[in-house]
Structure 1
């Protein structure tokens, strides 16, 4: 049976709860990745944060703002710009996912990961050891590349 450790990436980019959203975005862009585990000083998993979490947080709501005397309609573009300026220095702790964090162990069967991918539509799953320390990540892309290579090589 194939194990998670055969597919996982061990060179994991992580952030802490104190990482600013600005720094997170720089990390995601620089590393060309869509999300990272959030860890503490001992590398123990605290949560996950993805580009989708940031986008959902910044999503303009098209709301109206009432002044004492005037009704001001805030355009979505201005609203997004304002929210970006406001949010950029916040810490990832404010928007990271802390609940429903699914993990796998390096020794789990690959099926454990594929089951999570299919049921919850995550793109990346943190791989943790028995003490909840992040030892890798496994992505849908890693699994698809393997399946694709296997199918091609078996023909």
Structure 2
């Protein structure tokens, strides 16, 4: 991180929320990538990079909001700086240039293309969300799956799920008590790759609410993948996030729920 000249010999203390992207593979295993947005570099960095910066002060855990922040000696607030207070801006000016980093969902659940529809359904219900990004091995978005996609796939599958012929070896036949001349078929599993929307609408983490809201309205979608400079998913912005921001800016007390639904 580059460091600006201090003001009056000191830098004010700033909190930058740590974001996490959890990627679920087809075997159910999860990997987690934690990043934090640096307003001076205007890009995401790893927590390790922040800790090696001379401006780094500490890591702070907010038990009420259940968030962890990097605390550093920052310069004046700049566009893209994240705020740890979930009620920040209540009744404040309605600024459409507010960075989406302030309101997006920071703890993101992603899936690999090989995850099955049944596993997807369980994840959506278990995490109370309405859609997830589909990412490649590098964490870059390749598609988006919504609850409607999962329901549509289940309806189309019905009782006529496709199956494929399985060739058994002689040693496999005996335990199954299958006579010669018969064949075994097993259902073809429908995966996220089969049902996802392959065109990913995404915005850079430094984009404004004005830009993101305009894109969602123009394209008729309810969520956007938020990506960093290297194209990896670092957040999700939903239409509900924008509505919460609008309501809070108009003076209504709308706390961020413990588990944000997108």
- Please tell me the TM-score bracket, short chain as reference: 0.7 to 0.9
In structure 2, what is the Cα distance between the partners aligned to 1:9 and 1:84?
37
Paired residue secondary structure (2:229): coil
CA RMSD in angstroms comes to 2.4
Can you give the 5+ residue segments of structure 1 that lack an aligned partner in the other structure? 61-78
- Structure 2 equivalent of residue 90 of structure 1: 190
1:36 partnered with 2:135: no
Count of matched residue pairs: 135
- Structure 2 equivalent of residue 50 of structure 1: 146
**Aligned-residue offset at 1:152:** 2.3
* Displacement over 6 Å in runs of 4+: 84-88
Which protein has the larger Cα radius of gyration, Structure 1 or Structure 2? Answer: 2
Q: 1:3 aligns with which of 95, 99, 102?
A: 99
In structure 2, what is the Cα distance between the partners aligned to 1:88 and 1:22?
12
Using structure 1 for the length normalisation, give the TM-score.
0.77
- Structure 2 equivalent of residue 117 of structure 1: 216
| Greater share of residues in strand | 2
Closer/same/farther in 2, CA of residues 133 and 81 from structure 1, 3 Å limit? same
Closer/same/farther in 2, CA of residues 88 and 122 from structure 1, 3 Å limit? farther
1:145 partnered with 2:241: no
Can you give the 5+ residue segments of structure 2 that lack an aligned partner in the other structure? 1-96, 164-185, 254-262
- Structure 2 equivalent of residue 21 of structure 1: 117
| Greater share of residues in helix | 1
